[in-house]
Structure 1
Amino acid sequence: MMLNSTSSTLSYFILGAYLNIGNLRSFYFMITAMLYLVIIVMNMSLIVIICMNRSLHEPMYLFLCSLFVNELYGSTGLFPFLLVQILSDIHTVSASFCFLQIFCIYTYANTEFCNLAIMSYDRYLAICFPLQYNTRMTCNHVPIFIILIWLYSFVKFLITLSLNINLLLCGNIINSLYCHNYLVVKLACSDTKVNNIYGLFGVVLSILVPLLPIIYSYMKILNVCFSGSKQMRQKAVRTCTPHLVSLLNFSFGCSFEILQSRFDMSSVPSVLKIILSLYFLIIQPLLNPIMYGLQMSKIRKMYQHLFCYKMLSGQTDPVQVQ
């Protein structure tokens, strides 16, 4: 459908990547709803554990709390919308909600990468400067870093959104499961030079700004590992493994999403394209609480304490209580 109007008067977009699932609709709805529920429960439980226990009010765990909040934020920008679309026969979305979803998903991705970058810097200080760690990374510094991460992501994509809303669009079909910034810009029949320049500048900022502290931090950590003792190497591996797994997983998912939105992927099966487009929005919020929940000894102990407390409470015989 071709529409000769500005995006400010465009009433809706059509999402063209949904398959005809027929009788499997209920099955896909249940699977998606279960995934969303698991993400909410796991991330919320870790947020509550960190907030309610003063022994976990340390920089590393506060950065983790910010990471888990971001997982909930990004998931909420996708899953409720996805559940509605699965039940719907006509896959349309209002223009205003589409731009809101673009803002939510893109700020989620940028905040995730920046959060992982500041966590790598935190690990660098803990491993390379263990004696000075408490003076270099204080609890007063942590909220400043977290506020800057979120503020940077929000401001950057507010500018992107303001540029895109003023575009003259000559179509309203987006070949995706959700609203995608680049695909909306491709619908424009007006001059997109400013959008493309700022878009390229934004991509460089989104990748380069977090990537520099990550590379620097891990170069220093590797240097300490190679020149340090076996105990130092074991500590570095133990503390950096969940962060590296999370970083690589997120980079993997984002790379596939960027590639398939900008290049011809017609030879790739539709089911595989759907999985890859949702990968960084589903697997990352599932993986992080599992990785950090199992790897961090303090969080494990809190889980065990809560579980044992509930088990003992359930087994207590009121008659025997004196």
Structure 2
Amino acid sequence: MASVGNLYNISSVLKLQGFDLPSESSLPAFFFATLSYMIILFCNLVLLITIIMNKSLHEPMYLLLLNLPINDLLGSTALFPQIIKELLLDTETIEFSTCVTQAFFIHVYGGGAVFILAAMAYDRYLAICIPLRYNTVMTNAHIMKIISVVWIFNFILMTILFYLLLRLPRCRSQLTHSYCDNPSLLQLVCADTTINNIYGLLVTALTQVISLGLIFYSYLQILVACFRNKRSDTRSKALQTCATHLIVFLLLECLGLFTIISYRLQNLSALSRRFIGVSTLIFPPTLNPIIYGLKTKEIRTKIVKLFQQNVFPS
């Protein structure tokens, strides 16, 4: 009985895999991580402030878009401070409670991204395919319901996921990843994880079926409506808007798919696996505000005006 008790009497401090960088590369990596985080913060805050400060952008499409930088800031803030600390202090340890918190919000970020993009696709479907009913359907009350459902549903799914994890005894302290997520935390468990694996697969399948189904249906209907439309300017604007959404969604899906596959490729180097995992939390939060800022004329105009009035006043 004593040996069983000692088996689960382990440290509350976990050891991360680390990036295994040579000493001469640690400082450039620290500056790169810090710069990446600063760019993500700057770009997403600019998009966020622009939408909040301009009443002309308080429309359904932009109110839904507002949730994307919030979600990106949540995900990147869950990851980058820990990585910057790891590179700066050359430490590869993290408190278990901090690790679970980081993993929870990283998963919230992943689920939130696909649900928000699905909600934006639904909005564009109504605006382009049923324009006469759009204003009566997409009221402020309806928008708030959609946003609330997206966040509440996402938080419920992830809370159950981590409840199932935390109920299990842990007998290891060595993570196989450079940051915390559910798969790496499950590897610390010395118990049957069948329920966790089944639920994890169900959550992944559910989020993909809902998001992919809604997005593909919406854009298929939008394409049909666009090619039926006789006005070339209307068709061009609709296709441009859809192309922006699709670029963002495909980028997120491809990076997420690569991350999932990387866990199952035994021959993949540890460094490549860690880079693929981190890239999902670097590229979408960096590119999303840039893509929407550059490709959406209304936002681009307001951002320029914001900088002219507050940063470079004449």
Q: Which residue of 1 aligns with 2:240?
A: 238
Output the TM-score relative to the length of structure 1: 0.90
Q: Is the 8 A contact 1:171 1:187 kept in 2?
A: yes
- CA gap of 1:64–1:201, structure 2 versus 1, over 3 A, is same
- For each residue in 1:188-207, what CA deviation from the matched residue of structure 2 results, as whole angstroms up to 9, or x when unmatched? 22122221221222121221
Q: Mean Cα displacement is larger for which, 194-203 or 158-167?
A: 194-203
Instruction: Give the 3-state SS of the residue equivalent to 2:15 in structure 1.
Output: strand
Unpaired segments of 5 or more residues in structure 2?
Answer: 1-5
Matches within 5 A, 1:82-161: 82-161=83-162
- For each residue in 1:75-117, what CA deviation from the matched residue of structure 2 results, as whole angstroms up to 9, or x when unmatched? 1000101101112333111111111111000001000100000
Q: Name the aligned partner's letter for residue 252 of structure 2.
A: F
Tell me the CA shift for residue 275 of structure 1: 2.4
Q: 2:261 aligns with which of 250, 259, 262?
A: 259
Tell me the CA shift for residue 310 of structure 1: 5.2
**Partner Cα separation in structure 2 for residue 35 and residue 85 of structure 1:** 15
Q: Which residue of 2 aligns with 1:194?
A: 195
Q: Which residue of 2 aligns with 1:21?
A: 22
**Partner Cα separation in structure 2 for residue 188 and residue 312 of structure 1:** 55
**Partner Cα separation in structure 1 for residue 15 and residue 48 of structure 2:** 36
Q: Is the 8 A contact 1:18 1:91 kept in 2?
A: no
Q: Is the 8 A contact 2:85 2:91 kept in 1?
A: no
Tell me the CA shift for residue 10 of structure 1: 4.5
- For each residue in 1:97-148, what CA deviation from the matched residue of structure 2 results, as whole angstroms up to 9, or x when unmatched? 1111110000010001000000000111111012221111122211211111
**Partner Cα separation in structure 1 for residue 266 and residue 224 of structure 2:** 41
**Partner Cα separation in structure 2 for residue 114 and residue 192 of structure 1:** 27
Tell me the CA shift for residue 171 of structure 1: 2.0
Q: Which residue of 1 aligns with 2:307?
A: 307
- Root-mean-square deviation over aligned CA pairs: 1.8
Output the TM-score relative to the length of structure 2: 0.92
**Partner Cα separation in structure 1 for residue 228 and residue 127 of structure 2:** 16
Instruction: Give the 3-state SS of the residue equivalent to 1:204 in structure 2.
Output: helix
Q: Is the 8 A contact 1:249 1:284 kept in 2?
A: yes
- For each residue in 1:282-309, what CA deviation from the matched residue of structure 2 results, as whole angstroms up to 9, or x when unmatched? 0001111101001111111112223333
**Partner Cα separation in structure 1 for residue 311 and residue 203 of structure 2:** 51
- CA gap of 1:150–1:85, structure 2 versus 1, over 3 A, is same
Q: Is the 8 A contact 1:18 1:176 kept in 2?
A: no
Q: Mean Cα displacement is larger for which, 218-227 or 69-78?
A: 218-227
Q: Which residue of 2 aligns with 1:319?
A: none
Residue 294 of structure 2 corresponds to residue 294 of structure 1 = yes
**Partner Cα separation in structure 2 for residue 88 and residue 163 of structure 1:** 33
Tell me the CA shift for residue 68 of structure 1: 0.7
Q: Which residue of 1 aligns with 2:278?
A: 278
**Partner Cα separation in structure 2 for residue 210 and residue 287 of structure 1:** 20
Tell me the CA shift for residue 209 of structure 1: 2.0
Percentage identity across paired residues of the two chains: 36
Q: Which residue of 2 aligns with 1:69?
A: 70
- CA gap of 1:13–1:159, structure 2 versus 1, over 3 A, is same
**Partner Cα separation in structure 1 for residue 190 and residue 294 of structure 2:** 51
Instruction: Give the 3-state SS of the residue equivalent to 2:14 in structure 1.
Output: strand
Instruction: Give the 3-state SS of the residue equivalent to 2:139 in structure 1.
Output: coil
* Aligned length in residues: 308
**Partner Cα separation in structure 2 for residue 231 and residue 89 of structure 1:** 56
Instruction: Give the 3-state SS of the residue equivalent to 1:140 in structure 2.
Output: helix
Tell me the CA shift for residue 269 of structure 1: 4.3
Q: Mean Cα displacement is larger for which, 109-118 or 30-39?
A: 30-39
